[in-house]
Amino acid sequence: MEPSPEGGGTYADMLIGGLRITLTVSVLAWVIALALGSGVGVLRSLPNAWPRRLANTYIELLRNVPLLVQLFLWYFVLPEVVPEAWGDWLKSLRDAPFYTSVIGLGLFMSARVAVQVSTGIAALPRGQMAAGLALGFTLPQTYRYAILPNAFRVILPPLTSETINTIKNSSVALTIGLAELTARARAIQEFSFQVFEAFTAATLIYLAVNMTATVLMRLLERHMRVPGYGAK
């Protein structure tokens, strides 16, 4: 289990550094995914046809292309197809893999969040919307004060697994050179030939992180629960 005797500390440092990057990318991507996903999810739930079509197109585009291909598009293709000055600027960014991963992963996950949000809204009794409007709320007010607070409570459990998915998917970013946890384990394996130790350490860290995330989300679920409302 111990890393190789020579520079034992540095291997642990490498893994912790990788974990830090995994967590930073995941949290930032998750913020983007929640913000965009909620917006698109609301659009998809509106009675008007055009916003719905727009939201559906957005979701289908992002859901039907593998994450790896999407990251390649953002990382390799985007700088080539924008005006040259912008492309040069993008290529000269020092932390390009980091920014690309955050945005690419955020967009990818936002489509999945959007589906959850609109499903959650659809699962609410129709009367809630009608009641809000009948009370003189405008449509945005009804969403803000009645629909969304309820819908988010309904979809908290699926959002928990999407949170875990974001953390897991961040490992795909090693393909564009992001030195996150899996990439670090792979690098240690290459330096030291300690296959078993390197991957066991990474596995245990992922287990710990994802369990912590699940527990935190469960606490949030309990905290947000409205007494006497909902299935559980």
Residues near other proteins (CB under 8 A) are: 60-61, 63-70, 72-73, 76-77, 80-81, 83-84, 164, 167-172, 174-175, 182, 185-186, 189, 195-196, 199, 202-203, 206-207, 210-211
Q: Which is nearer to other proteins, 98 or 206 (CB)?
A: 206
Query: Could you identify the residue written with the tokens 């990788």?
Result: 18
Instruction: Name the minimum Å distance from CB 5 to other proteins.
Output: 21
Is 226 strand, coil or helix? coil
Instruction: Name the minimum Å distance from CB 48 to other proteins.
Output: 23
Q: Which is nearer to other proteins, 34 or 167 (CB)?
A: 167
| 154-188 per-residue burial string, b: 16 or more CB within 10 A, e: under 16 | bbbebbbebbbbbbebbbbbbebebbbbbbbbbbb
DSSP for residue 46: S
CA torsion through residues 199, 103, 78, 96, sign = negative
CA distance 53 to 68: 26
Q: Which is nearer to other proteins, 40 or 186 (CB)?
A: 186
Encoded tokens for 195: 């296959």
Instruction: Name the minimum Å distance from CB 224 to other proteins.
Output: 24
Question: In this structure, what are the phi and psi dihedrals at residue 216, rounded to the nearest 5 degrees?
Answer: -60, -45
Q: Which is nearer to other proteins, 65 or 134 (CB)?
A: 65
Is 106 strand, coil or helix? helix
Q: Which is nearer to other proteins, 81 or 226 (CB)?
A: 81
Instruction: Name the minimum Å distance from CB 15 to other proteins.
Output: 12
Instruction: Name the minimum Å distance from CB 74 to other proteins.
Output: 10
